[in-house]
Structure 1
Amino acid sequence: MKIEAQSPEEYITKIPEERQPAFSRLRRTITDNLPKGFEETMSYGMIGYVVPHKLYPPGYHCNPKLPLPFINIASQKNFIALYHNGIYADKEILDWFVNEFPKHSKYKLDMGKSCIRFKKPEHIPFDLIGELIKKLTVEDWISLYESNIKRTD
C-alpha cells in the first residue's frame, strides 16, 4: 500500500484512522530512542530514519544519491511494518530481538528478514522497540553496513 506523502506528519494523516494512534506512538518511540545523528525523512514511500550524507557521504550503495537507510515504518495493507536493517545485518541483534519478543508480547512474532509485522496495532511492544532502536549508534551502523557490503563484493 503506497502512500504519497511529503512529510511524516502528512503520511500519518493518510493511513487508516484506527491505526493512527499506534503508528504515531511507534514513530515517537523511535524518535525518542534514536541515537544522535540519524535523521527522520520520507524514504521509499515510508517514514525513514537514515544516516545523512553529511555523516556518510558515500550514501546507499544501491543509489549513492540516497542517504544510508537504517529504519523505516509503514502502514501496509494488512499490518504496520517496522523495517530495521540492523536486525538483517547483525545476527546478535536478531537473536536478541527474537529471544526478547516473547517477554514483551503474548503473540507470535511475525517477521521477515528485516521486517517486523504488527497485524493489530494494539499488539506493538513499544518498550521492546525502544530498546531495539538504541542498539546501534550511527557509527555502529556505518561500520556494520560497510562490513556487510565488503562481504558481498
Structure 2
Amino acid sequence: MTTAIVCSAVLAASIFVLGFNVSMNRGYAAKRGGSQMPTDPADRLLIAQRAHGNATEYVPTLIALFLLVGWLSPTPWAQVLIVLATASRLLHAISMLRSETLASENAPRMTGAMGTYAFGLALAVTAGVAGVAAV
C-alpha cells in the first residue's frame, strides 16, 4: 500500500505544480499583452494549459485505481503497474512542457500517453479481478 500512497501523492502534487505553471504563464502572457486564451500550438500558455488539463483528465482515476489495487491486491506485479503508470504520467507532462509546439508529436510524449493507457487499463483489470476475488 505504501507504493500506492507515495505514487498517489506524487501525481497529486504534479497537478498542483502544473497548475502553478499555468498561473505563471498567465502572468507572463499578461505582462507582454498576450492572450489568456491562446490557440497557437506553440504558445507557452497553451502548452502549460494542456499539460495541466491532460493530467487532470487522468490523474484522479489513476489515484483511485492505485488505492484500490494497493488495498485489494498489493502484489509486486500491481506495485510495478502503479510505478509504471506514475512514470508514464510524469513523462507525458514533462514531454509536453518541453515541446516547442503541440502540433507535432514526439517519442517521449507518445510513450507517456501509451503507457498511461496500457498501465491504466491493466490497473483497472487488476482492480476488477481483485474485487471479484475478494467477494
Structures share fold, TM-score greater than 0.5? no
Compare CA radii of gyration and give the structure with the larger one: 2
Give 1 or 2: higher helix fraction. 2
More RCO (CA 8 Å, sep 6+): 2
Q: TM-score, normalised by structure 2?
A: 0.35
What TM-score comes out, normalization by structure 1 length? 0.32
